[in-house]
Chains A and B, each alone.
Chain A
Amino acid sequence: MEDKLILGGHEFTSRFILGSGKYNLKLIQAAVEQGGAEIITLALRRANTRESENILDFIPKGVTLLPNTSGARNADEAVRIARLSREMGCGDFVKVEIMHDAKYLLPDNYETVKATEVLAKEGFIVLPYMYPDLNVARDLQNAGAAAVMPLAAPIGSNQGLATKAFIQILIDEIDLPIIVDAGIGKPSQACEAMEMGAAAIMANTAIATAGDVPAMAAAFRKAIEAGRSAYLTGMGRVLARGGSASDPLTGFLR
Chain B
Amino acid sequence: MSEKSEQLYEENQVYYVDSDTLPPQALARKHRLEQDPSSRTDHMAYMPGMEIIDSDVKDKVVAAMNDFDYSVYTARDVERALSHERCSIEDFKALLSPAAAPFLERMARRAELETRNHFGNTVYIFTPIYIANYCQNYCIYCGFNCYNNIRRKRLSFEEIEHEMKVIAATGMEEILMLTGESRTYSDIAYIGEAVKIARRYFRNIGIEIYPCNTDEYRYLHECGVDYVTVFQETYNSDKYETLHLLGHKRVWPYRFDAQERALRAGMRGAGFSALLGLDDFRKDAFASALHVWYLNRKYPHAELSLSCPRLRPIINNDRINPRDVGEKELCQVLCAYRIFLPYVGITVSSRESKSFRDGIAKICATKVSAGVSTGIGDHEEKYGGDESGDAGDEQFEISDSRSIGAMYADMERGGLQPVLNDYIYV
Contact = CB atoms under 8 A, between A and B. Distances in A.
B120 A209 contact: yes
Contacts of A204: 120
A102 B412 contact: no
17 contacts: A22-B119, A22-B122, A22-B417, A23-B120, A23-B121, A24-B121, A45-B421, A49-B173, A52-B420, A99-B301, A156-B120, A204-B120, A205-B116, A205-B117, A205-B120, A208-B120, A209-B120
Q: How big is chain A's contact interface, by range?
A: 35 or more
B173 A50 contact: yes
B302 interface: yes
B303 interface: yes
B424 A25 contact: no
A50 B171 contact: yes
A158 interface: yes
B420 A21 contact: no
A52 B171 contact: yes
B423 interface: yes
A103 B171 contact: no
B48 interface: no
A73 interface: yes
B300 A103 contact: yes
A80 B116 contact: no
A81 interface: yes
Interface in A82-109: 84, 99-105
Interface in B223-281: none
* Cβ-closest 8 pairs across A and B: A22-B120, A45-B424, A52-B171, A208-B120, A100-B301, A77-B426, A103-B343, A49-B421
A103 B304 CA distance: 10
Nearest to B173: A49
A202 interface: no
A101 B300 contact: yes
Interface string A1-44: 00000000000000000000111110000000000000000011
B331 to A, nearest CB: 22
Interface of B: 116-122, 171, 173, 203, 296, 300-304, 343, 412, 417-424, 426
Interface in A193-220: 204-205, 208-209
A151 B304 CA distance: 24
B426 A72 contact: yes
Interface of A is mostly: loop
Contact of B120 (A21, A25, A77): A21
Interface in A127-179: 156-158
Given A45-B421, A46-B419, A71 B301 contact: no
A53 B120 CA distance: 18
Contacts of B120: 21-23, 156, 204-205, 208-209
A49 B425 CA distance: 12
Contacts of B171: 50, 52-53
A80 B426 contact: yes
Contacts of B304: 102
Nearest to A204: B120
Contact of B300 (A23, A50, A53, A102): A102
B316 to A, nearest CB: 44
B122 A44 contact: no
Given A23-B417, A24-B417, A101-B300, A156 B424 contact: no
Contacts of B118: 156
Nearest to B296: A103
* Most chain A CB within a 10 A radius of its CB, from B418, B420, B421, B423: B421
A246 B303 CA distance: 58
A50 to B, nearest CB: 7
Nearest to A46: B422
A48 B424 contact: yes
B121 A45 contact: no
Contacts of B301: 73, 99-102
Contacts of A157: 117
A71 B423 contact: yes
Contacts of B116: 205, 209
B185 to A, nearest CB: 32
Nearest to B423: A45
A21 B343 CA distance: 16
A21 B422 CA distance: 10
A205 to B, nearest CB: 6
A44 B343 contact: no
A99 to B, nearest CB: 7
Nearest to A79: B426
A81 B117 contact: no
B424 A209 contact: no
